[in-house]
């Protein structure tokens, strides 16, 4: 009986180590979100931290401020979604595709 618990603890430690490795890897990966057909580009790491924002000069017209704001929000949402998907894919490799209940994220 105790042997099974010991084995489960070893497996949990291995998974925790692998999850830490994935977190480190995610910090080095990049995703790009775009909007307006590429007029606004946002780059983030795999954890969703914004690294850069590129805005096409044609959008820098003061009269088009609302358009630029809307496109920036759309690009930020796009890059966040891509970063979340990347993180989910990478964590899925560690958990063997184990799906967590809504709202739960790894690492705990």
User: In this structure, are residues 52 and 59 in contact, taking their beta carbons and an 8 Å threshold?
Assistant: no
* CA dihedral for 98, 100, 104, 108, sign (positive or negative): negative
- CATH 2.60.40.3470 fits domain 29-84: no
Query: How many CB atoms within 10 Å of residue 32?
Result: 16
- What's the pLDDT band for 43 if we cut at 50, 70, 90? very high
What CA–CA distance (Å, rounded) separates 106 from 54? 31
In this structure, are residues 19 and 94 in contact, taking their beta carbons and an 8 Å threshold? Answer: yes
SS3 45: strand
Q: Is the per-residue pLDDT at 10 higher than 90?
A: no
Q: Domain coordinates of the chain in residue numbers? A: 29-84
Please state the pTM of the whole predicted model.
Answer: 0.71
pLDDT of residue 4: 85
Q: Which residue has the higher pLDDT, 62 or 40?
A: 40
β-partners of residue 1 are none
What is the pLDDT confidence band of residue 6, given thresholds at 50, 70 and 90? confident
């Amino acid at each position: 009986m105790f042997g099974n618990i010991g084995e489960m603890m070893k497996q949990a430690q291995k998974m925790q180590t692998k999850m830490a490795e994935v977190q480190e890897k995610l910090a080095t990966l990049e995703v790009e979100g775009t909007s307006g057909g590429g007029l606004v580009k946002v780059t983030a790491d795999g954890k969703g931290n914004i690294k850069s924002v590129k805005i096409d000069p044609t959008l820098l017209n003061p009269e088009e401020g609302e358009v630029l704001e809307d496109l920036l929000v759309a690009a930020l949402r796009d890059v966040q979604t891509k970063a979340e998907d990347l993180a989910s894919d990478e964590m899925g490799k560690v958990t063997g595709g184990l799906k967590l209940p809504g709202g739960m994220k790894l690492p705990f």
